[in-house]
A and B are shown apart, each in its own frame.
Chain A
Amino acid sequence: MPDERDDRQLVEAAQAGRDDAFNQLVLRHRRALFHTAVGLLGNPDEADDICQDVFIKAYESLGGFRSSSTFYTWIYRICINLCLNRLRSRKVRSFLRIDHEELALPAMETADLPVEQAEFLQKAQVAIAKLPDKQRAVFILRYFRELPHAEIAEIMDRDVGTIKANYHQAIKKLQAELGSYVRGDED
C-alpha cells in the first residue's frame, strides 16, 4: 500500500528515527535514481551499487538535511557526483592503460519490437552514451526526469544558462544521429 506522506513528511519521520519512513523514500526514488545512474555509467550492476551508495550517504547525512532543497534534488546531486567521480576514475584508469575504456552499454530487451525500432533504440543508446559526461547528465535529468532547468542547475551546481546551453547542445547532437524523433524544449 503506497505511503500517502510526501517526501518532506517522510524525511522528518526518518530524521526522528523511523526506519520505515526511510524505506519508503528508498522505494519511491530508487528506480528513477537507477535509470539516471545507468544512463550515465552504462552498467546496470554498477548503477545499482551507486544507488545503494547514494542512499547510504543520504542516511548518514539525514540529520543535517534541511528542507531548503527537496529530498530528490539532494539525492540526485549525490548520485550525479558519485557517477561523475566513477567516470573520472574510469578515464584515469584508461589513461594509465590499467583498463581499456569502452562504451558501456546495457543489454536491451528488444525481442518484442519490430527490427527497425530495435535498431533505432540501439542507435539511441550509442548516441546518448557518446555525449560528454556532464552533457549526458543534463540530458537525462531534463529529457527523462523532466526536471526544470533551475533544479538541474542546483543539482549540477551550475547556473541555469549553462544548463540550458548544454541541453540544447545535447539535443542537437542526438537529432543529428537520430533525426527529429528526439525533440527538445523549443520544438
Chain B
Amino acid sequence: MPTALLSEERLWGAPPRSDAEFLVSLRSRLSPQKTELWLRGRQVALVAGVAVVMLLALVSQAPAPQVAAVETDSEGLETVVDDFVETTAEVEELQAYLAPETVEEVAVGDQYVESDPSAEELLNVDVEEFNLVLAELEETEFF
C-alpha cells in the first residue's frame, strides 16, 4: 500500500493545470458541442421556414378561375363570366357572328327576321313523294 514516500504526488507530481484552468478548458471544449447542437437546430428551423414560404408562394401563384367583369356600352351585354373573353363587340356584330350558316329564321330579341327559302321553293312539291304520302294515307286504318 502507498506510503508517504512512495506516493503518487511524489512520483508523478501534480496536474499541470489548476482545477479552475482545467474546468475552463473542459467547458470550452464542451460548449462547441452545445453551440453546434443549437446551430443545427437553427438551420433546421431556417430550412423549414424557407420551405413554408416557398410553398405559400407556389400556392398563391397557382391559376384559379377569375371573374372578369367586362363593361360594354351596349345594353344587351353586362357581364361575361369568363376570364378568357374580352370583347368590345357591338350587338350587331355579335348577331352576325351568331347567325346560323343554314338559312332559317332566327330570333333576335323580340323581332322575327324572315330569311330565304323563297315561296317558290316552298311550293315546288316533289310529285312522287306527294303520291307516296297519299298511298300511305289510303292504306292507313283509323280506329
Contacts and interface: CB of A to CB of B under 8 A. Distances in A.
A, B in one complex: yes
Interface of A: 23, 26-27, 30-31, 34-35, 38-39, 44-45, 47-48, 51-52, 55-56, 59-60, 106-110, 117, 120-121, 124-125, 128, 143-144, 146, 181-183
B15 A121 contact: no
Contact of A120 (B5, B8, B15): B5
Nearest to B20: A27
Interface size grouping (class) on chain B: 20 to 34
Given A26-B22, A56-B29, A125-B11, A48 B16 contact: yes
A11 B30 CA distance: 17
Contacts of B6: 121, 124, 181-182
12 contacts: A27-B23, A30-B22, A31-B15, A35-B12, A52-B25, A56-B26, A56-B29, A108-B11, A121-B11, A124-B11, A143-B2, A144-B7
Contacts of B33: 60
A3 B15 CA distance: 22
Closest 4 CB pairs of A and B: A35-B8, A38-B12, A34-B15, A144-B8
B4 to A, nearest CB: 10
